[in-house]
Amino acid sequence: MITQRGFVVLFGGILLLTSGFSFYNFYLTLLGVYLIVGLVVTLPLFATTANIAGIEVERRISKVKVFSGDFLRVRVTVKNTSRRHFDFIECWDRFPEVWTLAIGENFIASRIEPNSSITFSYILQVRMRGRYYLGPTEIILRDRLGLHYYRRIVFEKTEILVYPTWKDVRRLESMGKQRQLGLMFGAHRTKIIGMGTDFAGFREYQPGDSFRSIDWKSSAKRGEMMIRQYEMEKNIQVVCMVDTSGSMGNGYPENTKLEYAIRAAVLLTHMGLERKDLVGTCVFSELVHSYVPPSTRPNHMYDVLEALAMAEPSGWSDYESAISYVISQTQKRSFIIWLTDLEESPAPLLNAMKTLVANGHKAMVISPFGPWFEAPVGQFGPVDKVLAEAVSEELWERRTKIAKALARFGISVVNVGPEDFLPTIIKQYETAKQRGVAMF
């Protein structure tokens, strides 16, 4: 293949050649011949040496599963397994467009000797959850004068799973450290007597009671052995229903309703695990994409993260199928938190809620309100502004009706925007614990 530079030489040669012919000048003709011959004479030699199939690319990464926003070191080794040297080799290692090159360069250009290799590395900042691939690698071999080249794409791909961002959890943890938020086991108080920290009262000693529980002071006063009793602390079971229908993908990139819902689900799962509550996650649209049952296993968080990482906004919301599936999988009473934008027709939603309540579960809806995730109205022109406001009002009215219908059965709907999405989920979780919803 002749490069652009090669074509310039060719045209220069033709110019001189034709000038020589026109002006009957052998010098110009000779120079034209020189250029044209000089361009092609090494072509067979280059074709012999440029055994591009002898190039192998190996890519190594520091980890295959990372959180969105984390940094990843990529090492690329280009090996020349042939017996020829390559005068000039360019190597471009491609990475997903949404990621950011933080340190180094994903490109190298050098000379490579036979049976030797060159290694370079770069650091990427991983952005946006999902399944991504590093690669392919583009290899371009040039002759030393840059007149000819061969190109090859090495389809050596490295798969990376990007979990949703962990920054919310980091923030919460750090603020929690400062404020000493209640991270204790079972923050919820019950009226059931048992193991706990809050004092409930005294009773008479019975054989088998622990000596540690004897209250010596009151025993001395009463003249008989008295036992201290405490309120039992219990945990709750929560299932987070993440709607991944197409409408949830609306909003600014990285700040869509779905992204916030996923961040909220991650935060909720983390908080639940910290407090030894059972938190499950169901990712659904017109079908249930994944369901991670409530658990406290050490790897539970990663299962949830994996399920959420793969969520893509598409299709429509089939609330009934989703809740039927979850109910069939969940034996205990649960507190079901729906993270949905309620932009489907209300009847299926109400039917789903009916099924849910009929099976003894509690529920609430945290609903991102579409217009709050879109561009601010101030950025629109006058016509767009009026239209946006009209659409917004209609959506709000519809939402109010749904909220009224659900409120009759004790299911609250909380409308949220990007700013209060995460605080709302924290608040609702704390409230549910305090109220003792869905204890097990």
Partner 1 sequence: MKVVTWVLRILSIAAFVYMAYLVYSIMSALGVWDWSAPYDYIVTVFRLLSLIVFFISIVVFSGIIASVLGAIPGGLVSGLYNTLVLRLWYLQPYRVDGPLTDVNAAFAQFLNNIMDLATYLFETTFIFLYFLCAGVGIALFLQSLVRMEHKYVAGAFISIQVILILGAYKGLEVIDMNPVPVDFVTFIFQSAQILALVSFAYLEISYQMIYSYSVGKPVEDREETLKKQLLALRKATRKQDAIEREKISSSGMSRSSGATVFSFVREAIERKTIGEQDALENLDAISDVRRLQIFVDELLSSDPDARDELTAKAAAPSSFYVISSTIMGSAIRFVSVLALSFLLINPQFIMDLLNLTPGIQNSAELNQPEIILLFLVPLILLFPFVAMVISSFVNTEEEKEELTPEEKEAEKERKRKLKELKKEAEIARKEREKAKRGKKKGEGDEWDRALEETYGV
What part of residues 38-57 is at the interface with partner 1 (CB under 8 A)?
38, 40-48, 50-53
d(CA 161, CA 173): 24
Q: Which of 171, 132, 148, 164 is nearest to 43 (CA)?
A: 148
Among 56, 58, 92, 123, indicate the residue that binds partner 1 (CB under 8 A). 123
Least distance to partner 1, CB of residue 177, Å: 6
**According to the binding rule CB under 8 A, does residue 88 interact with partner 1?**
yes
Q: Binding string, 227-266, against partner 1, x = CB under 8 A?
A: ----------------------------------------
Q: Treating both helix axes as pointing N-terminal to C-terminal, what angle do 319-329 and 346-358 enclose, rounded to 10 degrees?
A: 20
Least distance to partner 1, CB of residue 17, Å: 8
Asked if 295 and 278 count as a contact pair (C-beta separation under 8 A), the reply is: yes
Of 23-31, 210-218, 240-248, 384-392, the segment contacting partner 1 by CB under 8 A is 23-31
Omega before 136 within 30 of 0, i.e. cis: yes
Asked if 229 and 193 count as a contact pair (C-beta separation under 8 A), the reply is: yes
- Residue 328, class by beta-carbon neighbours within 10 Å (0-12 exposed, 13-18 middle, 19+ buried)? exposed
d(CA 141, CA 274): 55
Q: Where are the beta strands (DSSP E) in 23-134?
A: 55-61, 65-67, 71-80, 86-93, 100-104, 107-112, 117-125, 130-134
**According to the binding rule CB under 8 A, does residue 28 interact with partner 1?**
yes
Report the site for partner 1 in 204-223 (rule: CB under 8 A): none
When the beta carbons of 16 and 238 are compared against partner 1, the nearer one is 16
Least distance to partner 1, CB of residue 68, Å: 11
Quote the Cα angle for 360-366-368, to 5°. Answer: 150
**According to the binding rule CB under 8 A, does residue 359 interact with partner 1?**
no
Report the site for partner 1 in 162-201 (rule: CB under 8 A): 167, 171, 174-175, 177-178
Backbone angles phi, psi at 387, to 5 degrees: -60, -45
Of 181-189, 196-204, 205-213, 342-350, the segment contacting partner 1 by CB under 8 A is 342-350
**According to the binding rule CB under 8 A, does residue 118 interact with partner 1?**
yes
Structure tokens belonging to residue 135: 């690669």
Least distance to partner 1, CB of residue 404, Å: 6
**According to the binding rule CB under 8 A, does residue 305 interact with partner 1?**
no
Q: Binding string, 261-300, against partner 1, x = CB under 8 A?
A: -------------------------xxx------------
Among 219, 324, 359, 392, indicate the residue that binds partner 1 (CB under 8 A). 324
Of 145-153, 192-200, 259-267, 384-392, the segment contacting partner 1 by CB under 8 A is 145-153
Report the site for partner 1 in 360-419 (rule: CB under 8 A): 401, 404-405, 408-409, 418-419
Asked if 32 and 13 count as a contact pair (C-beta separation under 8 A), the reply is: yes
Asked if 342 and 261 count as a contact pair (C-beta separation under 8 A), the reply is: no
Structure tokens belonging to residue 364: 């609430």
Least distance to partner 1, CB of residue 386, Å: 25
Least distance to partner 1, CB of residue 330, Å: 17
